[in-house]
A = this chain, B = another copy of it.
């Protein structure tokens, strides 16, 4: 006699509980389907829809003209309706190995792919994701290697007078060793929170894989929330969430820069870390890049490795051109001179050549050249997008603490 298992009973339960689905005519749709040649088919059952589109970073971006100049927007393409109201689109070309995100747009409304269980939250929106294997995409996959731990913790910030949520990656083996580790502070952009680098940034997978391959040293990665008007990501805070864009109050007791000492203090009193400049790195994307340059200048002799991704190291070089921003830039250049004198191992600036901040990055470097500031520049294709930030992380992390 076959042994009755709990799983077997649970499956019977499912059959009962989900029997009603059949009443509603549910049928299995495969989407996205990654074909052997790495072309991809997207499918959605939407019998009443007039127009179904898919938008995502696997499509070439559309150029949009605004009063501020030309910008890249995610591309979108129409699906065609086939049998039984199932809409379909297949990419004409194979896709390169990458992690891609996408959503459907049905008669103008954005929605997730009900057939794809892989979803990532990016602040206030959720996108579906898929990975094309074979090359770079493999770095973003969960592989059969030792895994680090990802903890959501709360630290006390005396400067901001509150508890704040923070995400911390500790490398494989941290819990069972007596070793001390170097620390990498990794900061999100204005559209992110303390979940951003873990979600679309794939930091845990990237670090696990780079460490397993011997390409990066085991290190602790600290991902705080860079919006001082919020204590945590949406839904995770005692206070009402205040979006960075689109209005709402943004009052905060102090800035990210001025309160950053609280984070360093928390990490260095709560983790087994090497507490010196040679073992501290800081990097960030967009707003987090500007935070990284500002914090590494403000906290003298604290960081040996600085990464500024898709942002002008001199914040006001991005767009403004007025007396106020010129004064800020002049003051910041003085700080950079002190930073240069104090010394560091790596100051790494990376930007995509279609990024809307590209010119600001070039202008910043021009200013930095004038004072012979010792940075390294990495230019990539593409714009202000996660694909680039994941690439920068995979290139920056291996250079740390060597």
Contacts and interface: CB of A to CB of B under 8 A. Distances in A.
Interface of A: 1-2, 4-7, 9-20, 23, 28, 46-50, 64, 66-68, 71, 73, 106-112, 114, 117-121, 123-126, 129, 141-144, 146-147, 149-154, 163, 165, 175-176, 189-191, 227-229, 232, 234-238, 241, 243-247, 250, 252, 255-257, 270, 286-287, 290-291, 294, 315-316, 318-320, 324-325, 327-328, 356-357, 384
A66 B325 CA distance: 69
A147 B118 contact: no
A255 B10 CA distance: 12
A18 B125 CA distance: 15
Contact of A228 (B7, B16, B141, B153): B7
A151 B68 CA distance: 43
A192 to B, nearest CB: 11
Given A163-B147, A190-B14, A315-B6, A126 B117 contact: no
B6 A256 contact: yes
A23 B356 contact: no
Contacts of A123: 117
| Assembly stoichiometry (copies) | 2
A68 B19 contact: yes
Contact of A118 (B142, B176, B190, B234): B234
A96 to B, nearest CB: 20
A246 B28 contact: yes
B117 A243 contact: yes
A97 B342 CA distance: 57
Contacts of A49: 107, 109
18 contacts: A1-B324, A6-B291, A7-B227, A7-B229, A9-B316, A12-B320, A28-B247, A48-B50, A48-B108, A110-B111, A112-B112, A114-B124, A117-B124, A117-B241, A118-B234, A129-B235, A142-B237, A146-B163
A293 B234 CA distance: 37
Given A19-B67, A176-B270, 5 more contacts: A7-B252, A11-B190, A12-B320, A48-B50, A106-B106
A16 B144 CA distance: 42
A7 B126 contact: no
Nearest to A124: B117
Nearest to A129: B235
B147 A150 contact: no
Contact of A290 (B9, B126, B247, B286): B9
Contacts of A108: 46-48
A286 B13 contact: yes
Nearest to A68: B16
A86 B291 CA distance: 39
A6 B287 contact: yes
Nearest to A323: B1
A230 to B, nearest CB: 11
Contact of A245 (B11, B48, B141, B147): B11
Contacts of A315: 4, 6, 9
